[in-house]
Structure 1
Amino acid sequence: MASALIVLVLAAASLVKKGKASPTGPPGRQCVQLEVPVPVDTTAIHWLQQKVESTVDTVDWVDDMNRWTSPNTTSRILGQITVKETFKINGQLCVPPKGPRSDILQLATHGVGFDKRYWDVEIKSDKYSYVDAALAEGYSIFTYDRLGTGASDKPDAYDVVSANVQVEILRKLTALARSGKLVSSSKKLGGASNLSSYKPKKIIQVGHSLGSALVIGLLAADGASSDGAILTGFLYNSQLGGVSVAPWGFEFAKENDPKKFGDRGSGYIVQSTKYNTQLVFLKKGAFEPALLDYAWKIRQPNTVAEFISLGTVLGQPAPDFKGPVQFTIGEYDYGFCRGDCKGTYNTTAIKELYPASTALQVHLQPGTGHGLTLSTNATAGYKVTFDFLHDAGL
């Protein structure tokens, strides 16, 4: 299952005409960039894993992950360790002008291969940026770099940057946002100065790929923490886990690009070529070449533990979650449906995991691959999500 996871104001008008989006987004967009201290005190799993300190090691890791005689996930559990540390998490809070939904916060968690820029595409943002779309719909939105990515801390890749630790960070961020102390407790790195007292009345969890898996883990562990969930790039279905990690073409991150990933240590891996990115995230005919270039430009490493630990947060029921939940996935998602999601899922079986949910929907985004925000019909998918939330009273 882990292997399936496989998202300055420009003044010159000429750049805008070329499709370069202004980071300020639509009129009225106000955002603040934050460094959020997140204290974590949790129990994590200590895994049986080989060291990955070169690309040769990485290729051998891929072989170990896929060889049928290799230990299964349960057999790789060696014990438990305590993770007690305060991590610096880089995030951005954006709030629209006062409106009927500005006190509903969407908290977005990205997946493997990206940082928070997955949600806020800078090329033709009116067509691709989920942040801009959410703001235009009246929602507030908080995006962040998961632990190990972007400008957030990058600790041990074998035990710490793992699924259950990431779930705990998401739980703490959710509680901090609900308390109204997200901004006031953080170091402000720039942006709007009038958002310190922002306190949402409701919180919707939004995830992509691994990010959706982390939301699923949060709903199972603390369902009452969230008022709704939008799970994109993920679907419980008969093909889940059928694709190996091999198509990523992983390399040791520091070796792949010493300048870009020089701060990543042992156990951090990244896709090797732009065309590995295409294979995993995009479907021919449903993306612009500039978006493939953009995806490659903003690519981010992940840790070996995130793959091996993924199964520990999936498949558990969320009896205390009482909000609406939507699964949105590309019709031709390669990683989760082996290239075609049609006829692979059972809505009744999925509903059993969310027995108290007020509404559940599965949406296959037509003609689209895994990278939903990078595909040409991105905004059409956003509309389906917003309509679902509105029908659910959010």
Structure 2
Amino acid sequence: MASVVVVLVLAAVSLAKKGRAAPTGRQCVQLEVPVSVNTTATHWLQQKVDSNIDAVDYVYDMTTWTSPNTTSRILGEITVKETFKITGQLCVPAKGSRSDTLQIATHGVGFDKRYWDAEVKPEQYSYVNAALAEGYSIFTYDRLGTGGSSKPDAYDVVSAGVQVEILHQLTALARSGKLVSSSKKSGGVSNLGNYRPKKIIQVGHSLGSAIVIGLLTADGASSDGAIITGFLYNSQIGGASLAPWGFEFAKENDPKKFGDRGSGYIVQATKSNTQLIFLKKGAFEPALLDYAWKIRQPNTVGEFVSLTTVLGHPAPDFKGPIQDYGFCRGDCKNTYNVTEIKSLYPASSALSVYLQPGTGHGLTLSTNATAGYKVSFDFLHASGL
């Protein structure tokens, strides 16, 4: 029977301010991974977004209570059969007792893989550095539609279900030891071609956490553990609104930066929107807000409407430990039911629900980030990972 551990932290941990030293001998390789997908996706009734005016109308349509609900927007199913380019970074510690345990990190809306590997004060904020210092290997990647990855149709193709299947295929490649050998190397070290992990831990943030949950539901045996950040089943999650993003049509928001994004790609409009969504007053440095704005990435309208297809279903085959970090419309206190969360992972060996203090939605951008990393690593160690 699964054990349940509920962790409620009420004060910041001093380790956050001390930071971690950058791991010595950081070995990373940049990859372009061809991922072949053959899956069924939902075709939705969606409003086209080809301008900033359209983007505002889209938010209005998605948030007005009299608008069609998600179920009534379903028009049918389509087959997505295509090979996509997924750009990623594999890092393996030069020395580490856990190097044969690979963390696969999936970022959320508004970012690409750089969310996990901050270039500003990396000793304090980089999750990649923290994982390597703890002895883990880690693979971060740009979700479909972001960073250097392929940017296909924003309505039906770049959707939650397709993102789940891409993570499924990346996990299978890593498990088989073919992640590097099947990819084009675009930089970094050249000695990781034979890397094959014995165990795989999924790590997600926000939408990335929803994608991880979708994978655990579809194929729980694919993963040995999971850390879910910026997402928690609770009474307030349905009240989260698209309005604070101030979405604009990506190509119109910044033609130079997002000129390769087509219809349906939207992005937060201003730096203030980025702060409102990801950061908490008194818990971030202005340089990290600047960084988050600098690396911002569009997402697609199809990802939002399709979330219901991957959430709310039990993951009966997932037997590893899972830790949930909260996202509850500003305050997670007294919003969740551990018994209900546990019912989604009936075979899990351990479940931890953790509320990180002094932290905004963007954990890796917050001054208390390192303390949160330590809690996750301690949980994994206690669970045998």
TM-score tier by shorter-chain length is over 0.9
Give 1:190's aligned amino acid: G
Q: Pick from 26, 31, 47: which aligns with 2:44?
A: 47
How far 1:99 sits from its partner (Å)?
A: 2.6
Q: TM-score with structure 2 length normalisation?
A: 0.94
SS in structure 2 at match of 1:361: strand
Higher relative contact order (CA 8 A, sep 6+): 2
| CA distance in 2 between partners of 1:368 and 1:377 (Å) | 6
Give 2:58's aligned amino acid: W
Give 2:34's aligned amino acid: P
SS in structure 2 at match of 1:241: helix
| CA distance in 1 between partners of 2:240 and 2:91 (Å) | 36
| CA distance in 2 between partners of 1:157 and 1:118 (Å) | 22
| CA distance in 2 between partners of 1:25 and 1:39 (Å) | 35
SS in structure 2 at match of 1:337: coil
Deviations 1:73-104 (A, max 9, x none): 01000000000000000000000024320000
| Residue 349 (structure 1) aligns with | 340
Matches within 5 A, 1:306-385: 306-329=303-326, 336-385=327-376
Q: Pick from 130, 143, 151: which aligns with 2:148?
A: 151
Deviations 1:56-76 (A, max 9, x none): 000000010011111110100
How far 1:368 sits from its partner (Å)?
A: 1.1
How far 1:208 sits from its partner (Å)?
A: 0.2
| Residue 248 (structure 2) aligns with | 251
Q: Gapped runs of 5+ residues in structure 2? A: 1-20
| The 10-residue stretch of structure 1 (340-349 or 86-95) with the greater mean CA deviation from structure 2 | 340-349
Q: Pick from 36, 47, 59: which aligns with 2:33?
A: 36
| CA distance in 2 between partners of 1:217 and 1:367 (Å) | 29
Contact kept? 2:43, 2:77, Cα under 8 Å = yes
Give 1:179's aligned amino acid: S
Matches within 5 A, 1:1-394: 25-329=22-326, 336-394=327-385
Deviations 1:295-330 (A, max 9, x none): 00000000000000011100100000000000023x
Give 1:216's aligned amino acid: I
How far 1:25 sits from its partner (Å)?
A: 4.9
| CA distance in 1 between partners of 2:240 and 2:199 (Å) | 36
| CA distance in 1 between partners of 2:108 and 2:124 (Å) | 20
Give 2:242's aligned amino acid: V
Contact kept? 2:96, 2:134, Cα under 8 Å = no
Contact kept? 2:22, 2:133, Cα under 8 Å = no
Q: TM-score with structure 1 length normalisation?
A: 0.92
| Residue 15 (structure 1) aligns with | none
| Residue 8 (structure 1) aligns with | none
SS in structure 1 at match of 2:179: coil
| CA distance in 1 between partners of 2:220 and 2:196 (Å) | 20
Give 1:84's aligned amino acid: K
Give 2:195's aligned amino acid: Y
Contact kept? 2:316, 2:344, Cα under 8 Å = yes
How far 1:244 sits from its partner (Å)?
A: 1.2
How far 1:53 sits from its partner (Å)?
A: 0.2
| CA distance in 1 between partners of 2:107 and 2:67 (Å) | 29
The ranges of structure 1 where at least 4 consecutive aligned residues each deviate by more than 6 angstroms after the TM superposition are: none
How far 1:378 sits from its partner (Å)?
A: 0.3
Contact kept? 2:321, 2:348, Cα under 8 Å = yes
How far 1:154 sits from its partner (Å)?
A: 0.2
Give 1:119's aligned amino acid: W
Deviations 1:328-352 (A, max 9, x none): 23xxxxxx41211111111111001
Contact kept? 2:278, 2:361, Cα under 8 Å = yes
Identity of aligned residues (%): 83
| CA distance in 2 between partners of 1:128 and 1:270 (Å) | 24
SS in structure 2 at match of 1:43: strand
Deviations 1:279-305 (A, max 9, x none): 000001000000000000000000000
- Count of residue pairs the alignment pairs up: 366
Q: Gapped runs of 5+ residues in structure 1? A: 1-23, 330-335
SS in structure 1 at match of 2:30: strand
